[in-house]
Amino acid sequence: MLVFSPSKLETVRVKLDNNDWADCQNIVGPLFVAAWNPEIYASGLHEIRVYARNIEGDSSEITQPFSLDESKVSFALLPRIALMLDAVRCFYNLFVFLVVLSVLPLFVIRVIHILVRDKHVALDKNRVLSSLRRWGLTRKLWIIASVDKLFYPILLYPVYITVGPWFIGEVIEGHYGAVFAWGTLVQGKMLPGSFTYFYGFIQLLLFHIPFTLLLSHCIDCSRESKREDHVVLPSLILRIMSISGNINDKIRDAANWLDKMDSLFGFAYDSCIK
C-alpha cells in the first residue's frame, strides 16, 4: 500500500473483509506492507480497509473493493450511465444545440420578413407563410425579427457567448487571461474547455430562451391590447351616440306631448271662460 501524509506516519493498519486489523510495516518511503494469504481471496469481490494516523494526530480511513479473478462491482443504471458518459462532449452537444435553436429560427423569420417587406414574396398568396404569420409562436417571433433594436441584440447574444470572451482578468493568482466557451487562454497557452459548455448551456436554457419568449409574448399582448382599444373606442362612441340619439328622441317626444297637453288645457280654459 502507498500511504501519503504531510507528517510522519506512526500507525498504518489494514483489514481484509471482516478479519482483524493487521499492523503494516514501512518498507521505503510511502510503501507499507502486511502479511496476507491470496488464496483466501482468490474468487469473488472483497474489501480492503486501510487506517492511517500521523504524529500530529490526523487520521484517515479508506475502504476499497477488490478482486483477484476480475470480478466487477455491479452499479445501478444511473451511476453506470454517469461513469460511461463523456460529460464534456455531452454538454458541448447540448450547448451547440441551444445556440442553433436560439439563432436559426429568428434568422429564418428575419429573412422571410425582409422578403415580404420588399414584396419579393406575396404573403397573402403563400399559405405556408400566412399560416406561420398567424400561428402564435412564430407570430410573436416575427414581431421580434421585424424590430432591429430587438432583433440584433437577441440574435448576437448567443453568437457572442460562442465566440467571444466571457471575461478577461486574473484567471489564476498572478496570471491574467481570457475565458471562452471553448477554453481558457493564459500566458499564450490555451487550456481546453470542460464545464464552460455546461455554464453556457445553463445560461441559454434558463435565461436567454425564456427571456426571448417572454419578451415576444409581452410585445404581442401589448399589440393585441392596442388593437382591441382601437376597435372598442369606435364601438363605444357609436353606442354613446345611439344612446344620445334615443335620449333626444325621447326629449322630442316629451316636448311634443307637452305641447299637445298645453294646447288641450288652453282649449279647455277658453271654453270655461266663454
pLDDT in tens, 242-270: 554 554 555 466 556 545 555 544 443 34
What mean pLDDT do residues 194-202 have? 89
* Cβ-contact 153, 161 below 8 angstroms: no
- pLDDT tens, position by position, 88-129: 888 999 999 999 999 999 999 999 888 888 888 776 677 777
Measure the CA–CA gap between 114 and 272, rounded to whole angstroms: 89
pLDDT given at position 273:
36
pTM, to two decimals: 0.59
Residue 226 lies in a domain: no
Is residue 210, in this structure, part of any structural domain at all? yes
Highest-confidence range of 112-121, 186-195, 202-211, 264-273, by mean pLDDT? Answer: 202-211
H and E: helices and strands count for the chain: 7, 10
One domain for residues 93 and 130: yes
Say whether both 26 and 54 belong to one domain.
yes
Q: End of a domain among 173, 196, 219?
A: 219
pLDDT grade for 47, boundaries at 50, 70 and 90: very high
Q: How many angstroms separate the CA atoms of 61 and 51, rounded?
A: 4
| Largest distance between two CA atoms of the chain | 153
Specify whether 18 is located in the same domain as 112.
no
25: in domain: yes
Listed in sequence order, the residues at least 6 apart from 69 whose beta carbon sits closer than 8 Å to its beta carbon are 42, 43, 44
Same-domain status, 60 and 120: no
Boundaries of domain holding 109: 86-219
**Radius of gyration from C-alpha coordinates of the chain:** 42
Q: The dihedral of CA 242, 244, 249, 253: what is its sign?
A: positive
Average pLDDT of the chain to the nearest whole number: 81
Q: Name beta bridge partners: 185.
A: 178, 190
| Residues 43 and 164 placed together within one structural domain of the fold | no
Number of domains in the chain: 2
Same domain, 110 and 68: no
Whether residues 150 and 201 share a domain: the answer is yes
Rounded CA-CA distance 206/199 in Å is: 10
- Whichever domain contains 23, its CATH number is 2.60.40
pLDDT tens digits, 232-244: 445 544 454 455 4
> Domain check: are 94 and 148 in the same one?
yes
Helix 136-146 with 87-117: angle, nearest 10 deg: 70
Domain check: are 129 and 189 in the same one?
yes
The answer for residues whose C-beta is within 8 angstroms of residue 94's C-beta and 6 or more apart is 197, 201
Q: Please name which of 213, 225, 204 lies closest in space to residue 139, comparing C-alpha atoms.
A: 213
